[in-house]
Chains A and B, each alone.
Chain A
Amino acid sequence: MRRYFGRKLLIYIITFILAVTVDWAIPRFMPGNPVEILIARAGLKAESAKLIYSYYMKAFGLNVPIWRQYLNFWIALFHGDLGVSLWLFPQPVMKIIKQAVPYDILLLLPAILLSWLAGNKFGAYAARSKWLDNTISPLAYILQATPYMWLGMLLAWLCGVRLHLLPFSGAYSNAMMPSFSWSFVWSLLQHWILPFASLFIVQFGGWAIGMRNMIIYELEADYSHYLEALGAPRKLVRSYAFHNALLPQITGLALQLGAIVGGALATEIVFSYPGIGFLILQAIQNHDYFLLQGSCLFIIIGVLLANFLIDLAYVLVDPRTRVGMQGEG
């Protein structure tokens, strides 16, 4: 057991180091120089630009040799310092990311959890009878096949532009500042519904399908037939099947939750919702290498952590995996 965990941990550490190195290398391989872009944006007189160029090179630590830059990066990382943004100079990257994360949590967590709950429920219904299966399942498949941004566009157009029911851009009204007032929370909610719905609807389909498949699989397993043969009530058999089917669904849920840190890029674009996905897109468009680097690192760490925890949970819960891990003799 200890050897197993030790090996797993080692692999994760290696993965982390590799991923961080790739992440660090990202800006270095872009053509051009981030300082050039800062100067281009500033529209300076030529003579002043010359002076400022060397100033900025020093300020961003770009005037030291490459290996030293790599080392500095790791040192800063362990201090929780993800660098300073170029596009939003001189705000630190960590601060910018922290401002975007609550929006993703607000948007994605309810979307994932509620769609999971509802999806599992409907998936279970579908597995109950053929008629239900033939109505719910195709619907679920089509929902799962819907591209996020298209559903977002549809909702924005129908509910926003056509029917003027709901706002479809931003996280809250432009005439308000965040505060603990009912009017602000109401504005927040109004702006939240459409992006939430577009995520919820698509994911609901996915969970429903997953649950339905799992239950059917379980219902066909030997133990189910055995129980039926013994004369157990259908309800009991189904409830066993449901609970067994839940395991992979929980795994899936955990994986999805781990991906929250990456945001829902397409949806955020359509609704201009200020989450981390949108932040990354803007960092890309504004050539802010350091923000890009920091956000990616954030995502990488989040996903790796989630994966690690899932692997742990898997081993604790399902003994079969342990056997497979040990491999051929």
Chain B
Amino acid sequence: MRRVVSILLVLALLTGVLGVTSVAAAATTEFPRSQTLYTGGKQWGPPSNWNPFMTGNYATGTIGLCYETLFLYDPLTAKFTPWLASSGKWTNSTTYRLVLRSGLTWSDGKALTVDDVKFTIELGKKTTLNFSSLWSWLTSISKVNSTTLDFKFKTALYQEWDNYLYNLPIVPQHIWGTRSLTDVATGANDKPVGSGAYLYNTYDQTKMVWEKNVNWWATKALKLSVAPKYIIDLVNTSNENSLGLVLQGQEDLNNNYLPGISTLLTGGYALHTYYPSAPYNIAANTAWLDINLQKKPMSDLAFRKALAYGINVADIVSRDYNNMVQASNPTGLLPMWNKYVDQAVVKKLGITYNPAKAKQVLAAAGYKDVNHDGYVENKDGTKITLKLIVPNGWSDWMAAAQMISKSAKAVGLRIVASYPDFNGYLDARLKGTFDLAIDNQANVSNSPWTYYHFIFYDQLKDIPTTQGGNYGRYNNKTAFALVTQLDKTKTTDLTAMKAVISKLQTIQLANLPMIPLWYNGMWAQMSTTYWTNWPSSVAGKNHYLPVTWNGYWNMTAILMLTQLKAVKQP
């Protein structure tokens, strides 16, 4: 008996160790700490996919470290930096001329030319990719010479095109041209070959390892050199695990929302945030209250106004988030778009927390508390009970929902916070079966057009499949016509843009299809134990974005890597 058990034991240990180590043997097996940058916060599962067209699935850094885009966009200065492209401009109202930089190379040594760019974008026509809808308004791409391409459009949507310029990854024709279309669209693209600052090194279930590309084109062309030799992106297992890693200096940059991190900044843990004080992080997206306009009494504008007057956002900001977020302005536009906010309109129509006014508006509109239960009833006497849904497990939103419920109660509105499972929450929003929901789908981008597209999206029938926004189903064709007009406005014509946006703001504030609440931040906690010279709002420091989320590398986070300095270890 004893012997059988001992044999089993040895077998167990062997199987275990063999099973673990049988993952493909990596070239490098240990990474020196002083040359490695540990990041985390974007990857919630083992790396499984390096296909830059599968947004939401690809491993951290696939676009940004490995594959690159034509331009970089800096949201804080609203400027484009030519990256793979050396310049680009509209030669007439429907033609865009792109000039590609010379001397670009892929990591396997081959040259990156306009043929690769043309090939990549045409892939969207051959099969369904995440940018395929571009071809509904792009007619053709023609090669003018070895460094120039002309993009001819049916209709020129300037704001949307700019968005593609810093989001479209360019892939090598000599590798992708031989693949089947299914592979292109949904293949994993192992061992990716890109043009970027980092090469694919290895991965396992807990991390993605990138290695510095010493032949990166930008070293010669732009005199840029990235500091860390290895970037290891750690898979998140839980927020508390991430907190532990950051506090112990085992993770250098973490982009999770870590509740309570603001209290630890002075705890001697060598932590750093972009802003040295509240709100600590740059605003990334707006948290909105989705209101289902198809249901009574939400269909009544007066009711929506009262609701807006009755929500105490300041409470959420201070108690729920410990001031790590900011209350939104009535338009919901992010702080970086302050120049588009029409202050006159806001002054006239903007609504902020005012419980007295809320009660006033309700009373004036005919909502009275007939049965004296503390809550107002419908005009026809039926009870009003609204369910506010947030995904289960999103603890900060769950707490916020509770606070909204409380402040609504004070003005006589009964709102019940409810926490369905994420897919139940998603489903309710998509199918339009919810009452109220918190939502933050529209993220920072190159133009407020993306915001207004989200608010006024008019293909109401398609919402369940396209997830385009406007979950409350606010039906206003005029508004969406204005959104399209905005898209067609040149990005250099600030006056024209402001004029259209002002009209949109008037419609939005007058009709309240959604209520903006607060700005979520680009959560970023940095450890200064091994690396310093992180981005900071302090004058003299670099103002790049310290974020590893999708789409942020090409919004200057890649430049952050060129500024980092290794700390000399004793």
Classify A-B as touching or not with yes or no (CB < 8 A): yes
Nearest-neighbor residue (CB-CB) of A272 within chain B: B237
Residues of the B chain whose Cβ atoms lie less than 8 Å from the Cβ of A274? 205-206
What would be 20 A-B contacts, judged by CB atoms less than 8 Å apart? A33-B423, A37-B423, A41-B57, A42-B130, A49-B465, A89-B186, A99-B46, A102-B15, A103-B19, A106-B20, A109-B8, A110-B13, A169-B241, A170-B237, A176-B31, A177-B28, A272-B237, A274-B205, A282-B44, A282-B45
CB distance from B434 to the nearest CB of A (A): 12
Residues of the A chain whose Cβ atoms lie less than 8 Å from the Cβ of B36? 175
Expressed in whole angstroms, the Cα–Cα distance for A4 and B49 within the complex equals 51
Indicate with 1 or 0, residue by residue over A279-318, a CB within 8 angstroms of chain B CB atoms.
Answer: 0001001110000000000000000000000000000000
Query: Is the pair A106, B132 in contact by a Cβ cutoff of 8 Å?
Result: no
Residues of the B chain whose Cβ atoms lie less than 8 Å from the Cβ of A38? 56-57
Query: Is the pair A113, B130 in contact by a Cβ cutoff of 8 Å?
Result: no
Residues of the B chain whose Cβ atoms lie less than 8 Å from the Cβ of A230? none
Chain A-chain B contacts (Cβ-Cβ < 8 Å), number? 213
Query: Is the pair B423, A90 in contact by a Cβ cutoff of 8 Å?
Result: no
Expressed in whole angstroms, the Cα–Cα distance for A99 and B19 within the complex equals 8
Q: Number of residues in A with C-beta < 8 Å to the partner?
A: 71
Query: Is the pair B26, A113 in contact by a Cβ cutoff of 8 Å?
Result: no
Nearest-neighbor residue (CB-CB) of A47 within chain B: B133
Given A90-B186, A110-B13, A178-B23, A286 contacting B45 (CB threshold 8 A): yes
Indicate with 1 or 0, residue by residue over B502-531, a CB within 8 angstroms of chain A CB atoms.
Answer: 000000000000000000000000000000
Residues of the A chain whose Cβ atoms lie less than 8 Å from the Cβ of B393? 285
Query: Is the pair A174, B12 in contact by a Cβ cutoff of 8 Å?
Result: no
Query: Is the pair B19, A102 in contact by a Cβ cutoff of 8 Å?
Result: yes
Of B48, B128, B424, which is within 8 A of A52 by CB?
B128
Query: Is the pair A99, B186 in contact by a Cβ cutoff of 8 Å?
Result: no
CB of A231 within 8 Å of the partner chain: no
CB of A114 within 8 Å of the partner chain: yes
Query: Is the pair B5, A109 in contact by a Cβ cutoff of 8 Å?
Result: no
Query: Is the pair B20, A103 in contact by a Cβ cutoff of 8 Å?
Result: yes
CB distance from A54 to the nearest CB of B (A): 8
CB of B427 within 8 Å of the partner chain: yes
Residues of the A chain whose Cβ atoms lie less than 8 Å from the Cβ of B234? 174
Residues of the A chain whose Cβ atoms lie less than 8 Å from the Cβ of B453? 46
Please tell me the size bucket of the interface on B: 35 or more
Query: Is the pair A105, B16 in contact by a Cβ cutoff of 8 Å?
Result: yes
Of A46, A110, A178, which is within 8 A of B467 by CB?
A46
Nearest-neighbor residue (CB-CB) of A289 within chain B: B423
CB of A327 within 8 Å of the partner chain: no
Given A42-B130, A47-B466, A169-B244, A105 contacting B423 (CB threshold 8 A): no
CB of B280 within 8 Å of the partner chain: no
Nearest-neighbor residue (CB-CB) of A52 within chain B: B128
Given A272-B237, A272-B238, A30 contacting B423 (CB threshold 8 A): yes
Residues of the A chain whose Cβ atoms lie less than 8 Å from the Cβ of B207? 174
Query: Is the pair A49, B48 in contact by a Cβ cutoff of 8 Å?
Result: no
Query: Is the pair B132, A48 in contact by a Cβ cutoff of 8 Å?
Result: yes
CB distance from A204 to the nearest CB of B (A): 14
CB of B90 within 8 Å of the partner chain: no
Residues of the B chain whose Cβ atoms lie less than 8 Å from the Cβ of A179? 21, 25-26, 29
Expressed in whole angstroms, the Cα–Cα distance for A114 and B49 within the complex equals 40
Of B12, B206, B459, which is within 8 A of A110 by CB?
B12
Residues of the B chain whose Cβ atoms lie less than 8 Å from the Cβ of A125? none
Expressed in whole angstroms, the Cα–Cα distance for A119 and B91 within the complex equals 83
Indicate with 1 or 0, residue by residue over B18-51, a CB within 8 angstroms of chain A CB atoms.
Answer: 1111110110111101001010000011101100
Of A42, A106, A117, which is within 8 A of B56 by CB?
A42
